[in-house]
Amino acid sequence: MTTLVSRDTAVPAPRACPVTHAPSAGATVADLAAAVEFVEQFHLETVPAQTLRGRLDEVRREIDSTGSYTHTPAELAFGARVAWRNAARCIGRLYWNSLHVRDRRTVRAPADVAAECVGHLRDATRGGRIRSTITIFAPDRPGVPGPRIHNEQLIRYAGHRTPSGEVRGDGRYAEFTDRVVAMGWKRPEPAGRFDVLPLMVSEGDGEPELHEIPPDAVLEVPLVHPEYTWFADLRLRWHAVPAISNMPLEFGGITYPAAPFNGWYLGTEIGARNLADADRYDLLPVLAERLGMDTTSPRTLWRDRAMLEMMRAVQHSFDVAGVTMADHHTESERFLTHVEREERAGRRCPADWSWIVPPVSGGLTPVYHRYYDAPDPDARPAYLPPAP
């Protein structure tokens, strides 16, 4: 089993990677020094059939001739996996070397990209036995930018603005929902709280297109509570695969602007953030009222208690449905195992403490009680924040 745990939260740059700057759509000639550095690293950590000198000669000739070069399939997989290994904000890096790589570098037309994104979801879902997966589309080439996926994740729920000014659904995506509606997307009638948004894809700097995700490609888990039967009356659910889709992959001087990747959920992502945050579903007051809690003062800790019950429901529901989900205690222990392995390999293991420590019960986890190597914003390979 693999995991590529990313915090599914309301922030501009998903918490799976260090903060750097994504290249513009007009990326030009590949950086020869970056290419050489990557090929040398690939030959140092693997056992390629080709000699290092021979491969470097090929890369130099190709860059001189075309302004870019093509990674071998082995280099592509290595780059994607090491980018995960370098992701200073990801707690789930123990299994970085088993990331499943789907090579779709010949694909750039929006309709074809969208179809392959649907294929990614189906390949990664596997009936609930979630597999860490990345699909890599055409790279940026001199004068020919690769495709872009404008959705933050492949699966996101719409936020429908109501006449009263409230949002029905995910408040985080009200603006994106307005945008796709302006492009022609028809809101479901009636508008629901868990309406899957269409994919917005463009070929380079071209006009984006909208493509629906078929319902059978989106596995969702209805949420119930192990004790409170009334919880089912809330009619909550969440999708099984958290596939980040707007973060470029960069290594060896080449940028792949569309490279959606997923792991599986950490229970806190859904229970303590997506359904709990005030700008998302803001359900803690609803649970507190149902549980008869005193909400007159934060000193009663009603938010803490309601959040714990929400997390219990999420974890229980995924377990009952047979859908892979990690918990923050186990994942914290696994992360320290990863740190130890990296140190034994003679590598630094950068980590952003504020992102590695879970948003619930941080002090009860082993990752809380130590310091880590500082993240290197220039580390490559890397998953980069989306271009503005």
What pLDDT was estimated at residue 214?
98
Residue 378: Cβ-neighbour burial (10 angstroms; 0-12, 13-18, 19+): exposed
Domains of the chain from N-terminus onward: 32-156+196-369 (3.90.340.10)
User: pLDDT (tens digit, 9 = 90+) per residue, 158-173?
Assistant: 999 999 999 999 999 9
Q: Is 193 a catalytic residue?
A: no
Specify the pLDDT at position 324.
Answer: 98
Residue with tokens 């130099």: 60
**Are the C-beta atoms of residues 315 and 327 closer than 8 Å to each other?**
yes
Average pLDDT of 28-49?
A: 96
Determine which one of 15, 85, 93, 280 is catalytic.
Answer: 93
126 is annotated as an active-site residue: no
Provide the pLDDT for residue 16.
Answer: 33
Q: Output the pLDDT for position 387.
A: 73
Q: How far apart are CA 343 and CA 146, in angstroms?
A: 36
% of the chain residues with pLDDT over 90: 91
The pLDDT value given to residue 28? 72
At residue 3, does pLDDT exceed 70? no
pTM of the model: 0.93
40 is catalytic: no
Q: Is 264 a catalytic residue?
A: yes
The residues that bridge with 244 in the sheet, in sequence order, are 153, 261
- The Cα–Cα gap between 364 and 383 comes to 30
Given the residues 84, 96, 264, 355, select the one marked as catalytic: 264
Of 152, 209, 269, 331, catalytic: 269
The per-residue pLDDT for range 266-307, each reduced to its tens digit, is 999 999 999 999 999 999 999 999 999 999 999 999 999 999
DSSP string spanning 167-232?
A: EEE-GGGHHHHHHHHHTTPPPPSS--SSPBPPEEEEETTSPPEEEPPPGGG--EEE---SS-GGGG
Give the tens place of pLDDT for each residue, 216-242. 999 999 999 999 999 999 999 999 999
